[in-house]
């Protein structure tokens, strides 16, 4: 694993733990990975093996499998990113924002997305119904 992919995985894992309000001890117990190993991975003092990364990913993702964990080892593409999830992850990673703040910002964000989607749909339907 190269340094860039290691950093991506570490950042992803940290965001997931924060978003789910999971402690290192919880993820260690559920994954079977030693808590000190998890701690060193999160702090960047240890590189996870693919097997360890998959075990950690399975704990923090509902439907994780090896392919979802490996996206952090060099196969991340723009098509595989869900923008709504990425916005929520970024907001939850901001330690200055509480749950209520994240909900408020997400409501505005989703409203803006819906507004654009609805406007795009209206324009498309007008084109279809025009003689």
Does the pTM surpass 0.85? The reply is no
* pLDDT of the residue at 63: 39
pLDDT tens column, 43-97: 999 988 888 988 898 888 743 444 445 455 554 444 445 677 778 877 877 778 7
Under DSSP, the state recorded for 2 is: -
On whether the CB atoms of residues 5 and 73 are closer than 8 A, the answer is yes
- Span 29-55, mean pLDDT? 90
Distance CA 76, CA 73 (A): 8
On whether the CB atoms of residues 10 and 79 are closer than 8 A, the answer is no
* pLDDT of the residue at 4: 76
Under DSSP, the state recorded for 1 is: -
* pLDDT of the residue at 118: 58
Domain at 3-80, CATH class: mainly alpha
pLDDT tens column, 100-131: 888 899 899 888 888 865 555 554 455 545 45
């Amino acid at each position: 694993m190269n340094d860039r992919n290691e950093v991506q995985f570490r950042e992803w894992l940290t965001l997931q733990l924060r978003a789910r309000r999971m402690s290192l001890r919880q993820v260690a117990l559920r994954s079977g990975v030693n808590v000190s190993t998890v701690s060193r991975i999160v702090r960047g003092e240890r590189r996870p093996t693919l097997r360890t990364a998959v075990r950690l990913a399975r704990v923090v993702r509902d439907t994780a499998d090896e392919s979802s964990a490996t996206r952090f080892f060099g196969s991340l593409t723009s098509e595989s990113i869900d923008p709504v999830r990425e916005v929520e992850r970024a907001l939850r990673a901001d330690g200055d924002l509480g749950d209520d703040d994240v909900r408020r910002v997400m409501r505005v964000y989703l409203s803006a997305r819906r507004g654009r989607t609805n406007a795009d749909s209206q324009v498309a339907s007008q084109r279809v119904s025009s003689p």
